[in-house]
Amino acid sequence: MFSQYNSPLQALSGLSSLAAGAKVYIKRDDLLHPYVSGNKWRKLKYFLQNHDPNRAVLSFGGAYSNHLHALAFATRQLGIRCHAIVRGDSDIKLSQTLQDCQKWSMRLHFVDRVEYRKRTDKAYLTQLAKRFDNAVVLPEGGFGARAMQGVGEIIPELEEIQPSYIFCPVGSAATISGLIKAAPVSCKIIGVAALKNAAYLIPIIEQQTGRLHGDNWTLLLDAHQGGFGKINQDLLAAVKDFYLQHKILLDPIYTSKMWLAFIKYAQQELTANDTAVLLHTGGLQGWQGFIERQKLSSEFLADTGLHSVD
């Protein structure tokens, strides 16, 4: 399932006034796989290809985690046992995301928020690995050197157009770090944080890449639209307009916020000589949680094709 495949690069028309005449493309990593799409496909690729099938994998996520959803499907396909430490209460009705994970044989272990905060503590991780029969721990979101290696393969796929800018959403920082490490210094990587108070990611990215903030990359911190997983009417309107114009659906957590940030950044910084690429990191199953909680109008669902989301 991780055979070499270059995702399509699609030109976005009708953006001349919006992007100061720059050429704008979208890298359709959302089309890499129906369940393990986008950056999840790239981040899991080398981790799972090199994994000992006799050892289980253990990772972390919430009730609507794209990471857990993709990991559950991939490990099921590859015959690898998988456990998930899930933030939340096991007594409540499982989200569709977690129902899918169970259907694909992922074992769910629910913890409260206090315990979940230990997910980067070495002693806690050692304890968990022993508890689950010497499982291999995969950090939340798939962060790690192998994830960065997979993401870095995007850069040679863009050689034909030689972009001056690449925009990407940022959660765990694996995607932006992989792009920074692989990109030539002439290409600026613009990350858009999907969560509040994300400045703590800057030294992490610097450590992972060896490139200081401001060298050939920057992390935009004010485009989270209220926080991780938060949506508002401006965001929904932008998603709807983008879909109606380009017939491409953005996800609610990451790429939609990247698009709003791009609009603002492009008007201020881009020129007619620039070529910009927006990275579609997939995650469309993330809409399911908002549908379940009835956070979306029937008109929005119909106009974006979300009424038919599986």
- The pLDDT tens digits for 100-155 are 999 999 999 999 999 999 999 999 999 999 999 899 999 999 999 999 999 999 99
Domain presence at residue 2 = no
Q: What is the pLDDT of residues 185-214, one digit of tens each?
A: 999 999 999 999 999 999 999 999 999 999
In terms of Cα–Cα distance, which of 52, 22, 27, 53 is closest to 41?
27
Confidence of residue 2 (pLDDT cuts 50, 70, 90): confident
* Final residue belonging to a domain, choices 142, 170, 200: 142
pLDDT digits (tens, 9 = 90+) for 233-278: 999 999 999 999 999 999 999 999 999 999 999 999 999 999 999 9
**187 and 251 housed in the same domain:** yes
Residue 308 pLDDT class (50, 70, 90 cuts): low
Q: Provide the whole-model pTM.
A: 0.94
Q: Which residues make Cβ contacts (< 8 Å) with residue 227, sequence separation at least 6?
A: 195, 196
Q: Is residue 1 part of a domain?
A: no
The answer to whether 222 and 189 have CB atoms below 8 angstroms apart is no
* Number of structural domains found in the chain: 2
Distance CA(267)–CA(100), nearest Å, equals 41
Element (H, E) at 246: helix 233-246
Could you tell me if 88 and 157 lie in one domain? no
> φ and ψ at 213, to 5 degrees?
-60, 125
Q: Are residues 164 and 291 in the same domain?
A: yes
Residues 68 and 210 in one domain: no
Q: Is residue 3 part of a domain?
A: no
Evaluate if residue 163 carries a pLDDT over 90.
Answer: yes
- pLDDT over 60 at 309, yes or no: no
Q: Flag whether 292 is in a domain.
A: yes
In this predicted structure, the answer to whether residue 91 has a pLDDT above a threshold of 90 is: no
Same domain (yes/no): 199, 294: yes
Mean pLDDT score of the chain, rounded to an integer? 94
**Predicted pLDDT at 89:** 82
> Is residue 22 domain-shared with residue 136, that is, in the same domain?
no
Whether 181 and 257 share a structural domain: yes
- Give me the amino acid identity at 141: G
What is the extent of the structural domain holding 78? 39-142
The verdict on 16 and 54 lying in the same domain is no
Task: Out of 123, 142, 161, pick the residue that ends a domain.
Answer: 142
* DSSP 8-state symbol, 11: E
160 and 31 in a single domain? The answer is: yes
Q: What is the CATH number of the domain that holds 111?
A: 3.40.50.1100
